[in-house]
Amino acid sequence: MKKLTAEWDSPLFMQVQAQFETAAQKLSLDENIFNRLRVPDKALIVSVPFRNDDGSIRVVPGYRVQHNDVLGPYKGGLRYHPLVNLGEVAALASLMTWKCALVNLPLGGAKGGIQIDPTLLSRGELQRMTRRYTSEIVNFIGPDVDIPAPDMGTNEQVMAWIMDTYSQLKGHAVAEIVTGKPVIIGGSLGRKEATGRGVVYCLIEASKLLNYKLDESTRIAVQGFGNVGAAAVKKLEKIGTKVVAVSDVKSGVYNPKGLSYQALTDWVNQHRSLEGFPEADAVTNAELACLDVDIVVPAATEGTITPEIARKLKCKILAEGANGPTTLEADKIIEDRGDIFVIPDILANAGGVIVSYFEWVQDLQNYFWTEQEINKRLFEIMSTAFQTIHEFSKAHQVNMRNAALMTGIQKVSQAMLTRGFYP
């Protein structure tokens, strides 16, 4: 196979590329389609200058990568993290293409990022950087072109600033330019919790399939207590299971008797991290994943399930809330072990973009749905996708990751063949 040019080089891009190659091979994907889909359609690199609180000016690199839009406008989050780079953003953009396709959304895949640690910025700095980034990419995005959303390090407020900047530049309010906005300016009810909720909906389907109960005897460890992890913990508690361990970047906490979502949230709101949370033992992120639990939800970031951890996992189910949490080698170890059911990232965390799609539709129609309606539709899409992928995996004798990727890739490929080649 021809090697790709160096600009995409990054561990995550290599991982996603290898996964794509395996799935494409199993599908006997048309060679022309393969060559087109292994690289993104377009990538924009911008330098974002913004004023620090002390008056000086800082310049940081920003990216927006559009992978494929054959099924509809490009769609995907915006990440603020010190390690963001072009290859990582490109990898995440391609995952968005397969994710949207496999849950049947009329959307393509994109991702954006700024190489910065947002926790080190003041509110003013964060706002100025976000607004300048938006103005730098203003001609690259659009409600029917490319619609950003939150990802790691960004939130509702960041989306509000993007929406406002875009609207100021256009001269009128354009709510449909981003999703994951605050409800007051056209955000959707249920969007904030949607990714975590979707992970739990997958677990409900998996429990039916594997014939085990989700009740107070089910012990769960959740890696990451950000938007995805925290919402998953909340929902897991609501359905009556026991979350015994959670972690954030700094530290993890473990209590075999169970942890309370409210107590954890109150602590984090007060102390900015889980560190020092009382009535629990401290554990590292690696220790957390290897605890004697039924389910592990890696909902932190990519590459946290390493080969070493994969060998030590004691859980029966691994539900990937984050994008790309399991390295290639770890994935192979898990497959060879054969005793862990993996719910792959593009399926497990699709709830976020599904409700983003609902938000976009509501904004375009200026007609808003109830939270009940949203959660009901989210559940329908997630459970259908889960069942379809599981049936595909049985029929084609492939694991759930390959089944999910193959389903997404096949759909995109069929659409490309149907639309034909331009010019």
- Annotated catalytic residues are 111
Least distance CB 77 / ligand GLU (angstroms): 3
By beta-carbon proximity to ligand GLU, the closer residue of 75 and 390 is: 75
Instruction: Quote the CA–CA distance of 241 and 258 in Å, as a whole number.
Output: 9
> Tokens representing 417?
């063949």
- Judged by CB under 6 A, which stretch of 130-138, 213-221, 347-355, 406-414 contacts ligand GLU? 347-355
Number of residues that this document lists for the chain = 423
Count of residues that interact with ligand GLU, criterion CB under 6 A: 11
* Binding to ligand GLU, residues 28-87 (CB under 6 A): 75-77
| Distances, alpha carbon 6 to alpha carbons 10, 39, 87, 312, in Å | 9, 12, 9, 34
Of 77 and 325, nearer to ligand GLU (C-beta) is 77
Strands 281-283 and 252-254: antiparallel
CA angle in degrees (0–180, nearest 5) for 308-312-314: 150
Beta bridge partners of 81: 115
Instruction: Please report whether residue 352 would count as binding ligand GLU according to CB under 6 A.
Output: yes
Minimum separation from the CB atom of position 382 to ligand GLU (A): 13
User: Pick from 177, 174, 180: which is nearest to 193 by CA?
Assistant: 180
Name which of 151 and 156 has its Cβ closer to ligand GLU: 151
- Minimum gap (Å) between residue 220 Cβ and ligand GLU: 21
Report the relative pairing of strands 74-81 and 109-115 from DSSP bridges.
Answer: parallel
Instruction: Summarize the chain as % helix, strand, coil (round to 5).
Output: 50, 15, 35
Burial of 167 (0-12, 13-18, 19+ CB in 10 A): middle
Backbone angles phi, psi at 48, to 5 degrees: -105, 105
At its nearest, how many Å lie between ligand GLU and the CB of residue 312? 27
Q: d(Cα 9, Cα 374) in Å, to the nearest integer?
A: 39
Four-residue CA torsion sign, 131, 134, 139, 141: negative
Q: How far is the CB of 13 from ligand GLU (least distance, A)?
A: 16
Task: Tell me: does residue 197 bind ligand GLU (CB under 6 A).
Answer: no
Residue 146 engages ligand GLU in binding (rule: CB under 6 A): no
Q: Which of 353, 378, 404, 416 binds ligand GLU (CB under 6 A)?
A: 353
Nearer to ligand GLU, 103 or 328 (CB): 103
For ligand GLU, the closer of residues 19 and 179 by Cβ is: 179
DSSP class of 2 = P
Q: How far is the CB of 356 from ligand GLU (least distance, A)?
A: 3
Instruction: Read off the tokens for 317.
Output: 């189910």
Q: Which of 207, 247, 349, 375 binds ligand GLU (CB under 6 A)?
A: 349
Interacting positions 316-335 with ligand GLU (CB under 6 A): 323
- Rounded CA separation 362/46 (Å): 31
Which residues, listed in sequence order, are joined to residue 326 by a DSSP beta bridge? Answer: 305
41, 125, 151, 248: which one binds ligand GLU (CB under 6 A): 151
Rounded Cα–Cα distance for residues 152 and 157 (Å): 13
- Which region, judged by CB under 6 A, interacts with ligand GLU, from 114-122, 128-136, 157-165, 350-358? 350-358
Burial of 289 (0-12, 13-18, 19+ CB in 10 A): buried
Interaxial angle between packed helices 261-271 and 227-238, expressed in degrees from 0 to 180 and rounded to the nearest 10: 150
One of 179, 218, 285, 362 touching ligand GLU (CB under 6 A): 179
The minimum distance between CB 107 and ligand GLU, in angstroms, equals 8
Of 227 and 402, nearer to ligand GLU (C-beta) is 227
Q: Smaller CB distance to ligand GLU: residue 221 or 354? A: 354
* Residue 356 lies near ligand GLU (rule: CB under 6 A): yes
Please tell me whether residue 413 binds ligand GLU under the rule CB under 6 A: no
Distance CA 408, CA 104 (A): 9
Tell me which residue has its CB nearest to ligand GLU: 77
Nearest to 187 by CA among 196, 197, 172, 175: 175
Q: How far is the CB of 330 from ligand GLU (least distance, A)?
A: 20
Nearest by Cα to 234 from 196, 270, 203, 189: 196
Q: Which stretch binds ligand GLU (CB under 6 A): 15-23, 159-167, 257-265, 345-353?
A: 345-353
Nearer residue to ligand GLU within complex by CB, 356 or 375: 356
Binding site for ligand GLU (CB under 6 A): 75-77, 149, 151, 179, 323, 349, 352-353, 356
